[in-house]
Structure 1
Amino acid sequence: MVLTSHYTPQKKTKSSGASSKLPHKQILNMIDETHPILSQSRFQPPEKWDWSHRELSGIKIRYGLPRSRKIYKAAALILGGLGDFGEQYYELAQDLDNRDIKPVIIDLPGQGGSGRYLKNLHKRHSNGFDNLLKDLSILIDEIVLSAAIDPENNHLRLPIFLIAHSMGGHLALRYLSEYNITTKGQPVFSAVALSAPMMNIKAVERLPGIISFPILKILGLFPTAYVPGGCNWTEQYRDRPTLKGIFTSDEHRAELQKAFFSHPEYAHLAIGSPTNKWLNDAIKSCKKLRKKGYLEKIETPIVIGLAGDDRIVSNIAILEASARLKNCDLLELDGAQHEILMEKDQYRSAFLDHFFTFVENNVFNKENNGKTFIV
C-alpha cells in the first residue's frame, strides 16, 4: 500500500529540518580563504565524530559515528549515492544528532573515504552489487547493531533507521528484501527514508531495448573504461553541459563537492565518472528489483522522496516500485532536483520533517519507544 503526498514549495518557507544550533563549535582542520563554505557550522561533524575502517573483500570501507557519551533514543545509518562521500552528510548527521538519533555513515566501497577498485582512483568501478550488498550486511551487523545498544540497558536495542540516497536507496531496498533480519530473527531497521532511490537510470530508460542491449553488450567488452562521456574529476566536472544544474538548486550545498575535492587534505575523496562495469552491474541490479515478489515481501515502513525535477534516476520506476511496497509513504517534491538531501531547505526540510513525523507515528509511539529486547 502506498500513501502519496505532494509538496509544492511556496514563495516563503521556514526551515525546520535543517540544523541551526550546534552544541559546540568543531571547526575542521581544512579551512582557508579558498574554501570558505567549509567553515560554516552546519557543515561540521557532530561532537566527538570518529572515522574508522573495516576491510572486506580486499577493500577498506570507511564508516563514521560520534563517540560521545550522549544518550540517544535511536540510531540511523546514512548511505549516500554514486560518488558521494561522508563529509557531505555532516549536516544531516547534525540534524539527527540534534533529535537524539545517533548518526552512522558508511562510505560505499569505491568512493568517499573507502578504498578504490582500480589504479585510477577517479574511476567509480564495481565488483558487483551482490558482493557489495554482502559486505554492507556484514558492516551493519558489526557496526550499526553495536552502535544501537541502549547504554542505559544493555538488554535493549534502540530502533534503527536507514536514510539513503539514490544508489544508496537502491541498496537499501535490496538489503530490506534479502537481509533485514538479525541472527536472532529480529528486523534490523524499524523505518527507512529513501531520497530519489535508483530504481532505473533515466538515460538508460530512454533507450529502446532493441538499442540498449547491444550498446551495453559492447560497453561490457571494456569494463574498466569510463562510461561514454565519462572522465576524471576536475573542478569543472559538474559544470559540463550534461551535468550542470541537475543535482541541486541550492547554491551553497552545490559547492560542497568542489570545496572538499579541491582541498589538498581531502583530495583523496575525489571521484569521477562510473565505469562500464558499474553501469552494467547497476542495470542488472535494477532488474532484480523488478522481479515479482522481490519488493512485495518488504514489511518495513518506508518514506520515499520523489524529486519532481529529477534528471538522473527514473521517477516512473520509483512510482511503480512504491505501488508494490506494503507500507510506503510517497512524498512528491515538485521542483526538487535529484539530491533532495542537498537541496534548498524548502525541499530538504519537507522531506526530513515528513520522515521525523513518520517515525514518531510508526516507531516511537510503540512499547519501550520502539526499543526491542536483544534475545
Structure 2
Amino acid sequence: MPSKYPCVEFDNPYNLTTESQLADKYNDEISQFWDATITEHSLQGVDNVTLRYASAVINKTGPAIVLLGGRSESYQKFRELIYDFCKQGYSVYCVDHRGQGMSDRLLKNLHKGHVEHFRDYVTDLKLFIDKVISPTQHSKQYLLCHSMGGAIGSLYLQSYHHDFDAAVLASPMFGINFGQIPRPIANVYSRAMHIVNKIIHTESFYAPGKGDFAHSPFENNQLTHSPLRFDIFRRSYGFYPQTQLGGPTINWLQQSIKACRRAIQYAGDIKTPTLVLQAGGDEVVLAEAQQQFCRALSHEKNQHQPAEPVLIPGAAHELFLETDIFRIPALTVALNYFAKH
C-alpha cells in the first residue's frame, strides 16, 4: 500500500521510534532490549490448549498494559511497539490467542486460522488476567487491543468491569469488510457453508478465497503504508515459522460475525473508560460498525464514554505498524488516554 500522503510535520511528545531510526535500531537496541527484558511463558486455556505469552516487566508496582493482537498475529510482531511502551515506563504483557502465533493450533492443518467458539478467546483472556495479571502489584492496568483483539477485548469488558482502568481499541473488528458483497449476503453464505461443513463432518474448511500461508508483496497489502515496518513483520515469519498462519476457516468466520454483532449490541454494558481509534483508510474492517459501537457505548447512563471514534485520517488497518505520520499520532492519543486514567 504505497502512501498517497506527503511527509507532514507532527508532534512526537513521547519520543516514539521513527522510521528513520528503526532500520538501525531494530537489529541493535530493540533486539538487545528484547533479549534482556522479555520473558516467555505458557498458560493452559480452555480445553487445555496451551497459550503462550510474553511479558516485559519494567516496574513491578508501575502501570501495565495488556496487549491483544489481531487474527494471525503473535507477540513477535510487536517488538517495536512493546519497546516504545516500556520506554514510557509501562510493563507490557502480550498473549497469543489460541490457534495462532506461538500458541497451540486447533486443527491438523496448522495453517488454518480457526476457533470453535469465539467466547473461548474471552475465557482464555479471563484465565490469563486471573492467573498472570491479578497477582501482580501494578498501580494501573490498561488494555490495548488491535483488530480481532478489539472484539475480544470489548466482549471481555462487557462482563468484567474492574480488571482495567482504561482501554484503547485500535481498528477494532466490529464488522468485517467483505468488499463488494453486502454484509447480509455474506452472512447468509457463510452460515450456509458452515452448515454444509457440519453435515459432511470434515475439518473446518477455509473461508472462500482463503488458503495456506503465503508471502505477499508490499504493493498488494491492505495493512500499512510503511515498507520498512511491513518488511520487518513479514521477515519475522521466517525467523519464527511456527507463527505463520493462513486464512480463516468458515467456522472462525461464522463465529466472528456473531461476535461482532454481540460486541455492538452489548457495548453499553462496558463501564471501563474505552476509546476507539479508527483508521481512516481501513479496508479490512468497517468504520460504520465502529461508529455503531461507540454510539451504543455512550448511552445516556454511560456518558463518560466517547461517543465517536478518534479518527486517524488516511491510515491503513495496522495503526501500530503504519508510517510515522499515522502511527505516532495514534499512539500519542492512546498514551494520553491512559495517562488521564
The alignment partner of 1:296 has SS state of helix
User: Cα distance, 1:192 vs. partner?
Assistant: 0.7
Aligned length: 319
1:261-319 deviations in Å (ceiling 9; x for gaps)? 123xx11111111111100010111121232xx11121211221100110010100001
What is the TM-score when the length of structure 1 is the normalising length? 0.78
Cα distance in structure 2, aligned partners of 1:211 and 1:103 = 37
In structure 2, what is the equivalent of residue 104 of structure 1? 93
In the alignment, structure 1 residue 307 sits paired with structure 2 residue 279: yes
The match for 1:318 among 290, 310, 320 is: 290
Cα distance in structure 1, aligned partners of 2:190 and 2:70 = 25
- Aligned residues of 1:18 and 1:92 also touching (Cα < 8 A): no
Q: Assess, with a 3 A threshold, how the Cα gap between structure 1 residues 260 and 342 changes in structure 2: closer, same or farther.
A: same
User: Cα distance, 1:347 vs. partner?
Assistant: 1.1
In structure 2, what is the equivalent of residue 352 of structure 1? 331
- Aligned residues of 2:206 and 2:247 also touching (Cα < 8 A): yes
In structure 1, what is the equivalent of residue 200 of structure 2? none
1:45-95 deviations in Å (ceiling 9; x for gaps)? 274210000122221101111256x45520110000000110111212112
TM alignment of 1:1-375, pairs within 5 A = 11-17=8-14, 19-20=16-17, 39=27, 41-42=29-30, 45=34, 47-56=36-45, 57-66=47-56, 70=59, 72-147=61-136, 149-150=137-138, 158-180=139-161, 187-203=162-178, 206-207=181-182, 209-210=184-185, 212-222=187-197, 224-235=204-215, 238-239=216-217, 244-263=220-239, 266-291=240-265, 294-326=266-298, 327-328=305-306, 330-361=309-340, 363=341
Q: Assess, with a 3 A threshold, how the Cα gap between structure 1 residues 272 and 36 changes in structure 2: closer, same or farther.
A: farther
- Aligned residues of 2:11 and 2:329 also touching (Cα < 8 A): no
Q: Assess, with a 3 A threshold, how the Cα gap between structure 1 residues 211 and 251 changes in structure 2: closer, same or farther.
A: closer
Q: Assess, with a 3 A threshold, how the Cα gap between structure 1 residues 349 and 45 changes in structure 2: closer, same or farther.
A: same
- Could you list the runs of 5+ residues in structure 2 that have no partner in the other structure? 198-202, 299-304
The alignment partner of 2:40 has SS state of strand
Q: Assess, with a 3 A threshold, how the Cα gap between structure 1 residues 245 and 211 changes in structure 2: closer, same or farther.
A: closer
Q: Assess, with a 3 A threshold, how the Cα gap between structure 1 residues 297 and 208 changes in structure 2: closer, same or farther.
A: closer
Cα distance in structure 2, aligned partners of 1:166 and 1:54 = 23
Cα distance in structure 2, aligned partners of 1:178 and 1:335 = 34
Cα distance in structure 1, aligned partners of 2:284 and 2:175 = 9
The alignment partner of 1:221 has SS state of helix
What is the TM-score when the length of structure 2 is the normalising length? 0.86
Cα distance in structure 2, aligned partners of 1:142 and 1:321 = 30
Amino acid corresponding to residue 344 of structure 1 in structure 2: T
- Aligned residues of 1:18 and 1:349 also touching (Cα < 8 A): no
Cα distance in structure 1, aligned partners of 2:183 and 2:127 = 38
User: Cα distance, 1:170 vs. partner?
Assistant: 0.7
Amino acid corresponding to residue 309 of structure 1 in structure 2: G
The alignment partner of 2:103 has SS state of coil
Cα distance in structure 2, aligned partners of 1:231 and 1:211 = 18
Q: Assess, with a 3 A threshold, how the Cα gap between structure 1 residues 9 and 239 changes in structure 2: closer, same or farther.
A: closer
Structure that is richer in helix per residue: 2
User: Cα distance, 1:134 vs. partner?
Assistant: 1.2
Cα distance in structure 1, aligned partners of 2:185 and 2:212 = 31
Q: Assess, with a 3 A threshold, how the Cα gap between structure 1 residues 37 and 317 changes in structure 2: closer, same or farther.
A: same
More deviation, 212-221/294-303: 212-221
More deviation, 38-47/159-168: 38-47
Question: Over the residues paired in the alignment, what is the CA RMSD in angstroms?
Answer: 2.6
Cα distance in structure 2, aligned partners of 1:358 and 1:209 = 35
Cα distance in structure 1, aligned partners of 2:294 and 2:230 = 28
Cα distance in structure 1, aligned partners of 2:82 and 2:337 = 18
- Aligned residues of 2:150 and 2:170 also touching (Cα < 8 A): yes
